Structure formats: structure tokens, C-alpha cells
Amino acid sequence: MSSIFQLFRRSTSSDSADELEDDNPISNTTECYACTQVGVPVFHSTSCDNANQPQWEASAGSSLVPIRDRPGSKIVPNRAASDGRSRRDLQRNKNFFTRVYDPRSKQVQRWNRFFLLARGVALAVDPLFFYTLSIGRGGAPCLYMDGALAAVVAVMRTIVDAVHLLHMWLQFRVAYVSRESLVVGCGKLVWDPQSISSHYVRSLKGFWYDAFVILPVPQAVFWLVVPRLIREERIKEIMTTLLLIFIFQFLPKVYHSISLMRRMAKVTGYIFGTIWWGFALNLIAYFIASHVAGGCWYVLAIQRVVLCLRQQCSRKAVCNLALSCADEVCYQFLLPEDTLGGRCAGNSTIGLVRKPLCLDVNGPYHYGIYRWALPVISSNSLTVKILYPIFWGLMSLSTFGNDLEPTSHWVEVMFSICVVLSGLMLFTLLIGNIQVNTHFTLIRGGMFFLLAYR
């Protein structure tokens, strides 16, 4: 009697298992679910087996692990239905160029850290184009472009853009969270390569925005447009062009870096998990902002010197002003440092005194906030050209423009206002981010203490 009862129980259990398997709509799906509680990071994901039904175990605040990978797992894959597909997936995952990467894997996280640091370097490289413009003071002051420095900066910009191209290629191979599957605390990771590529290309903030921020606009402008404008002595158009580049490519690049970091943190959690990394990133942001402010200060000072030269020439009875040097593109960077001039200085100006009054700090012309930029824009020392504007920007942002004394020139006043507001915003963000990082570190330390106490 007992044997008959056991046979009946086995048959009923097998039938119920078959019914559950038939009613399960995701038994053969190629996508896996990643769920966690509400908080940061929002999504936890691991790579899933396309042949088996994804079954997960979850604990509060911990990563999700497939049950089949645990020791003692009794899940048996359906080999008859998925043998061919498993072989194709296995061959694809073995290939470095065709495999799909888990966004929470250590390899992807290391790449994200490296890429964000490369983006910071890219933001620091762009203002270096400003320092290719210089004032020669061997005779009458004139404007020229340092071709050697422009070539070095263009190569640096190309290298960091190549790193960005590698990141764009990686986005075609990283699983993403499907928007249609978003519910409270849960998300569905898509692992199909075609779906990943289609999603990345169709996203405006994805492929197209990534391609826009690495367009070689500064390289083309400084090698094709600026020399011609210098030769035609259209200095105002040069400054307008540089301003347009700053507004329509550099500022979007800053927003792109910030949004990219937030997007990575949303999927993988904190990218830089220590408080020291957070403090260092905030200091790097402060340094880049000082670098940008100093570069703008440098270029605007050149514009004021040109305005001074034109006013000085208009007061002479006989004056033939030539704003461009004899060589509009000169390779001063390769020459020995000589503050008083060199091969790049000199032009055909007639009527102005040999002593450059427009480059005299104590001269009759009032420069306002550009007063201390006069010896910098005419110096042949690359170290002085780069470090002193950075120091000026750091000092102005740290003191909220307390030492700025602008004249009534409207461009100078607007620039001073931007410096003051930028200093206030950066200081507020710096203090806020440090507090957040400290709070996160203390909470994590408290949780570790509680677990150790248990």
C-alpha cells in the first residue's frame, strides 16, 4: 500500500512541475532580471545564462547571484532546446570584440574610472588652445599664433578623443536596463547585441551626443580659420569664434561628463568609492574651472591690447597700423625663452613709438582686471603663459572675485560677474560633495561595525 502511495505522489509531483514549466513565460528568455531594494545603486546585475531560466536570490544591499552558480544547485538545463544557442553564445562570449559585458563587472568599472579621468584631461586640454595666441613685442606689438604649441595641443586633443572612441565602441557591448521593465526597485537587463546597438544609436544622449563632443572643431578652427583672420587683422572675429567654440562645444562637453558620471553611478553604484577619491575629484573640477577662467582672461587681455593699439594709432597724424606680425603662424614654442622678443616679433607698423605703451602696466591705458596679464601675453615662456592664468583663475574663484576691479567696459564687467558666480557655485558644490562623501563613508563604516558585532 505504501509503495502505491509513493508512485502516485511521484506522478502528481512530476505533472505539477510540467504545468509550472509550461505556464512560466520566461523559461526560455535570453534576458535576466536584476532587482534590489530602493536606494543606491538602483540596479544590481550579473551575467545570466541564456539557456536556463534566470533564478535569483537577493539580500538587502547585496549583489544578485544566480542560484545555479551556488554550490549544491539542482537546476538542470534544458539541453535539447538550447544546445545550439548555448554554443553560439559561448563562442560569442569568448571573443573579446563580440562578447556582451556586464555593467557591474570589475573590468567595466575599471574602464569607467579610467574613462572619466580621461574626460577630465580632455576638459583641461581644450583651454590650452587659447595660449597659442600671443603678442610679439620686439618692435611694435603684434599678434601671432604659436604653431608648435597648437600642434602639440592638437595631438593631445586627438589622443583623448581616441580614448572616447574606445568608450563609444564599448557602449555597443555593455548590457543596459530596459525602460519598459522599470518598476519600483527592479529592472530588466537586455543582453542581446543587436538590441544594445540599436538602443545606443537611437539615444540622443548616447551615440550622437558622444560623437558631438569629440568633433575636431578647435583643431580645424585654429589651423584653418585663425591664421587667415590674423592675416586679415580681424581680431574681433577671432574672439567671437573662440567664444562660440566655448559655448557650443566646451560647455556641452562639461555637461556630457557630468551626465555620464551620473549615468554610470546609477547602474554600477559609486564609481570612486572612497572619500579620498571624492575629495580629489572635486579638487580636479576646481582646478579645471580655474584653468578655463584663466584661459578666458588671457584671450580677453589680448583683445584689450589690440583695442589699445588702435586707440593709440588713431591719435597719431601718420600711422599705418599692422596688427598681425610678419609671420601670422610662428613656431615660438621651439625657440629659446626670450621675454623681450624673438623671431616672431615685428611687423610693418609705422607711426607708433618703439616703446610699447600698450604693454606697460603703469601706462596711461587702464586695463582693469587685465592689468597683470600684460607681461604674460607677451612672454615667450610657456610655463608663465599657462601657470600664471591658472593661478589667477584659482585666486579669483577662491575669493569670489574679491580682488577684481573692472573698468566700465561691458565685456570685462560680464566676465567679472561670471567669475564671481562660478566661484560661489563651485565652492557650494565642493562643500556639499565633501559632506555627502563623508556621510556615505560614515554610514558604510557603521554598517560594517554592526555586521562585525553580530
Q: Which pLDDT band holds residue 268 (cuts at 50, 70, 90)?
A: low
Instruction: Encode pLDDT of 12-43 as tens digits.
Output: 444 444 443 433 333 333 444 444 433 333 44
Query: For 330-335, what is the mean pLDDT?
Result: 66
Q: Hey, where are the domains in the chain?
A: 32-95, 106-267+275-453
Q: Is 77 exposed, middle or buried (0-12, 13-18, 19+ CB in 10 A)?
A: middle
pTM (global) more than 0.75: no
Residue 158 has pLDDT above 80, yes or no: yes
Residues 272, 112: Cα–Cα separation, whole Å: 10
Q: What is the average pLDDT score of the chain?
A: 73
**pLDDT computed for residue 150 by the predictor:** 92
pLDDT band at 344 (very low <50, low <70, confident <90, very high): low
Q: Per mean pLDDT, which range of 70-74, 259-263, 350-354, 441-445 is the poorest?
A: 70-74
Kindly tell me the burial class for residue 92, based on how many C-beta atoms sit within 10 Å of its own C-beta (0-12, 13-18, 19 or more): middle
Tens digits of residue pLDDT in 170-186? 888 887 777 666 655 55
Would you give the distance in Å from CA 251 to the centre of its chain? Answer: 10
Q: What are the b/e assignments for 170-202, b being 16+ CB within 10 Å? A: ebebbbbbeeeeeeeebbbbbbeeeebeebbee
With a cut of 60, say whether residue 312 has pLDDT above it.
yes
- Beta carbons within 10 angstroms of residue 62's beta carbon: 10
